[in-house]
Structure 1
Amino acid sequence: MTLIPHSSKPSKHPSRSSIDTPPQEQLFNDAESYFFALKDSINDAKYCIDMEVYIYENNTLGLRVAEILKSAAGRGVTVRLLTDGIGIDDKFKAIADDLTQHGVQVRIHRPLPWKLEQWRYAVIKTHGIRKLLYLLLSINKRNHRKTVIIDKHFAFIGSINISVNHLHNEHGGAHWRDTAIKISGGNLSALEQAFDASWNYSKQKVKRIITKTALKSNFLLNYNRILRKHHHRLLLRLINHAQHHIFITNAYFVPEPALLKALTSAAQRGVNVQIIVPEHSDVIFMPWVSAYFYKSLLQSGAHIYEYQPVMLHAKTIMIDEWASIGSSNMNHRSFRHDLEVDYILQTKEAKQQLLDDFHHDCSYTT
């Protein structure tokens, strides 16, 4: 990931002229091509960069990403990095301190209560016992989103963290199979507002106001109860009305009863239900947990495939002409606890590529 200096000077305000234009969508089924595209977009940024990532590792990849963020801040771009207390280790503080010294704003979504050295970067600004109690009581609620918004015009969304696991073997990684998308243009306001709400720890009154924007957007967000119910009901409605196919790729597939019933019912009425899960997982017990649901799905006529070559980490859904890419797993955590974001594909070309990728993945399964 070669660093490329950029000499253009930023203007005061980003253009919002593209807010009503159709988006362009570029899919990535390989993390290295994703990181190259991300690097180029960050190097071209003129106004602002908002990066939100669940895992940020202090290693070769993390340091390279930090360098391009510092470079952007050095030329006057407003750069904000938000990560999660579970997704970082003790080494992250060194990166955070270095980024801060170079003009990058860094915050941590709910640091682990015993990581006192990370408290200074916590989103919540209370102190002492109140902060400790808050972090203890909210320890189960994590920010699992992986998004980057650049100049309010480009957005990267998917399942790729700042982790070497996603890189190819020759670059020290495990070559995890992931899916992500770059969205150019279109209306990104719901995504921007969701980031701001997490960054500023917005109160419920503020979140209720921006919920109206999220409900009308192409982004499936879940930072309050209304949006969680909307996402869950939308998925169930789409499955219950599916006529041709339901193709699911999911790294941590543990469907809740209502979702399992909808999938089995769809298969029983003749819908082509195919689900790809990893044969081997970074969560050692996950394949066994997922296998618990195989019997009822297989008896209903659904097909389940286990991806063999590497760890499958993607989260995608295709239901007839509807398709989404994002960070949500099909399990209780994603539906009830973690902050997630998924994007509903808008272009025929992107939907076709996602379909082609699904069939290609099926050829590497058992």
Structure 2
Amino acid sequence: MFEFFPGFDPATWQWEWTWWTTLSWSGRVLGIAFIPTVLLQRGTRPMAALAWILTLLAVPFIGVALWWLIGRNHLRRRKRRRSRAQARISRSFVNLAQPREPAASEVPDATENPLSPLSALSQARNLILHDEHGIFPPTRHNRATPLNSGPRAFDVFEEAIREAHHHIHFEFFIWRDDATGRRFRDLLAERARAGVEVRVLYDAIGSKGIRRAFLKPLIDAGARVASFLPVRLLERRLRVNFRNHRKLLIVDSRVGFTGGVNIADDYLEWFDMAVELKGPVVYQLQEVFAEDWHFATGEDLADERYFSGLSEYDSPDDETSQEDASDAVRDLPAIARVVSSGPDDTLNTIHKMFFLAITSASERFYLVTPYFVPDSAIMTALQTAAMRGVDVRIIVPQQSDVPVTQHAGRSYWEGLLEVGIRIFEYRDQVLHAKLIVHDRDHVFMGSANMDIRSFRLNFETNCVLESHPLNRQMCRLFLETQARSTEIQLAGHRARHYRTRLLEGVARLLSPLL
């Protein structure tokens, strides 16, 4: 019969068929072999587990490669070692921090703090030290100054660095070799040459454009520089998906900064925010940096030299003037705490913080976030808050630097608009700010976005600030931002083109793979 197919070689055909059959079955066996690992690491997230399993079965070789690169949470294998390091550092910090911390009677309890669920998590702790899940207790006698733009933040960063006498701890997700990046490199090098201890920690993926030549002037000046979770192709465990998204600057333990601002020219044009902190809460930022630095370099910073700059802010009457505070936006009194988390944290503390903030809101919950990809718990919390009568408003960018995340976020709008949540898209600039205004007394600022990556994959740091004047200022800023935004209407959203809905659906399907 083969004479009807000129040039057909049965032997070649049989060999190719055998080869493809072997390859196909090998792929299936390989994909099935990885399913137990997926169930062990993603079993608490059924949709994510199902997405990975389907990928492993449909395209096993690609699925295994993706799982190996971005799916595994191998950092949890290192959690025990990291936890021991944290415990050792924390024990050293106890003797340093305890004398400056108020007595237990001075720490606000659940009856004083409208965020009672958050207070309950650490009500029994009196030290400026976190537990194994990154939850610090609230501290009094702090001052907070919001920095509501990139240029403003850079100027204040520079002022603080120039005034440094003992040490500068500089940790950022993105640090670029551009005018802004060189500005801070040269400034840090100048202070290092002046005898100030300078430590720089940058994320290996977020700052992937950084080269040795860029860092050489800083290293030659005597600064210590390290990258967080560097990617080495020949390393047995590639660590691509778990990144240090924190933005921290601590100077002489006297002043600390956190927020969304990275060190790059983009942030001169984007709408972003940071917060300047003075007082005992700086100890908490210092400990977060110390643990990250120890993780990256092995150096232990639990030394009194790094915890000696707070005395000028330890005045007991800091909070007495809150109600009478003027509209000035510098050094606003605040009770403050740091909440940190990462992929080595099984509790997903940042996620729990957002959830508790939403469910404890009684009057208003205003959210500014550049990336909005909630899970079912956050969606339910937002919907039920609105149904309880809480004024829930969300501002996201109209123009995003990560389009797939923007499309995924828009797929959630209908379920939120239906219960009366107001959603706005900021139209003036790229929005990268992270802000929560909670009722009349609380503000949340930091590095975390309202998305799955911040909930589970990134190392993040946020600050919870209890301050009526700060809340008032941030509420005013939110309303000004809202005025420069376009409100999303339910009818118009439902009428969007089917291609748009399809694109949003595909983007949403990808989110569990994160």
TM bucket normalised to smaller:
0.7 to 0.9
Match of 1:198 among 288, 292, 311: 292
Task: Return the alpha-carbon distance in structure 2 between the equivalents of residues 283 and 231 of structure 1.
Answer: 21
Task: Return the alpha-carbon distance in structure 1 between the equivalents of residues 155 and 347 of structure 2.
Answer: 33
Task: Return the alpha-carbon distance in structure 1 between the equivalents of residues 346 and 270 of structure 2.
Answer: 30
Match of 2:240 among 109, 134, 139: 139
Shift of 1:351: 1.8
Is 1:80 the equivalent of 2:203? no
Q: Kindly indicate whether the alpha-carbon contact (under 8 Å) linking 1:23 and 1:346 is maintained by their aligned counterparts in 2.
A: no
- What is the match of residue 322 of structure 1? 442
- SS of aligned partner of 1:350: helix
Aligned partner of 1:265: which letter? T
With over 3 angstroms needed to count, the CA separation of the structure-2 counterparts of 1:281 and 1:264, relative to structure 1, is same
- What is the match of residue 183 of structure 1? 277
- SS of aligned partner of 2:396: strand
Q: State the Cα deviation string for residues 279-298 of structure 1 (Å, max 9, x = none).
A: 01111222211100000000
Q: Kindly indicate whether the alpha-carbon contact (under 8 Å) linking 2:343 and 2:459 is maintained by their aligned counterparts in 1.
A: no
- What is the match of residue 7 of structure 2? none
Is 1:163 the equivalent of 2:264? yes
Structure 1: segments with no counterpart, 5+ residues = 1-14, 115-128, 168-174, 207-215
Match of 1:54 among 153, 169, 173: 173
With over 3 angstroms needed to count, the CA separation of the structure-2 counterparts of 1:148 and 1:325, relative to structure 1, is same
Q: Kindly indicate whether the alpha-carbon contact (under 8 Å) linking 2:229 and 2:296 is maintained by their aligned counterparts in 1.
A: no
- What is the match of residue 249 of structure 2? 148
* Higher relative contact order, structure no. (Cα contacts within 8 Å, ≥ 6 residues apart): 1
Q: Kindly indicate whether the alpha-carbon contact (under 8 Å) linking 2:242 and 2:343 is maintained by their aligned counterparts in 1.
A: no
TM-score by length of 2: 0.59
- SS of aligned partner of 1:50: strand
Task: Return the alpha-carbon distance in structure 2 between the equivalents of residues 225 and 301 of structure 1.
Answer: 37
Q: Kindly indicate whether the alpha-carbon contact (under 8 Å) linking 1:221 and 1:227 is maintained by their aligned counterparts in 2.
A: no
**Count of residues paired in the alignment:** 316
Aligned partner of 1:337: which letter? L
Residues 299-338 of structure 1: pairs in structure 2 closer than 5 A: 299-320=418-439, 321-338=441-458
Shift of 1:53: 0.2
Identity %: 29
Mean Cα deviation higher: 73-82 or 185-194: 185-194
- SS of aligned partner of 1:310: coil
Task: Return the alpha-carbon distance in structure 2 between the equivalents of residues 32 and 264 of structure 1.
Answer: 36
- SS of aligned partner of 1:246: strand
Task: Return the alpha-carbon distance in structure 1 between the equivalents of residues 170 and 346 of structure 2.
Answer: 22
Between structure 1 and structure 2, the one with the greater Rg is: 2
Mean Cα deviation higher: 258-267 or 225-234: 225-234
Task: Return the alpha-carbon distance in structure 1 between the equivalents of residues 443 and 194 of structure 2.
Answer: 38
With over 3 angstroms needed to count, the CA separation of the structure-2 counterparts of 1:154 and 1:228, relative to structure 1, is farther
Task: Return the alpha-carbon distance in structure 1 between the equivalents of residues 207 and 469 of structure 2.
Answer: 36
- What is the match of residue 257 of structure 1? 376
Task: Return the alpha-carbon distance in structure 2 between the equivalents of residues 91 and 106 of structure 1.
Answer: 12
Shift of 1:139: 1.6
With over 3 angstroms needed to count, the CA separation of the structure-2 counterparts of 1:294 and 1:327, relative to structure 1, is same
Q: State the Cα deviation string for residues 173-222 of structure 1 (Å, max 9, x = none).
A: xx10011100012232222122111111189xx9xxxxxxxxx9700100
Q: State the Cα deviation string for residues 131-174 of structure 1 (Å, max 9, x = none).
A: x123x1x221100001101101210110000010111xxxxxxx
- What is the match of residue 41 of structure 1? 160
Aligned partner of 1:346: which letter? E
Is 1:294 the equivalent of 2:416? no
Task: Return the alpha-carbon distance in structure 2 between the equivalents of residues 228 and 311 of structure 1.
Answer: 32
Q: State the Cα deviation string for residues 214-250 of structure 1 (Å, max 9, x = none).
A: xx97001004655844433333223223211110000
- What is the match of residue 243 of structure 1? 362
Task: Return the alpha-carbon distance in structure 1 between the equivalents of residues 267 and 343 of structure 2.
Answer: 30
With over 3 angstroms needed to count, the CA separation of the structure-2 counterparts of 1:33 and 1:312, relative to structure 1, is same
Aligned partner of 1:162: which letter? I
Q: State the Cα deviation string for residues 309-357 of structure 1 (Å, max 9, x = none).
A: 1100011112213221011011111010100001112332222211111
- SS of aligned partner of 1:200: helix
Task: Return the alpha-carbon distance in structure 2 between the equivalents of residues 228 and 69 of structure 1.
Answer: 36
Task: Return the alpha-carbon distance in structure 1 between the equivalents of residues 264 and 485 of structure 2.
Answer: 25
Aligned partner of 2:236: which letter? L
- What is the match of residue 331 of structure 2? none
Structure 2: segments with no counterpart, 5+ residues = 1-95, 103-139, 301-334, 487-514
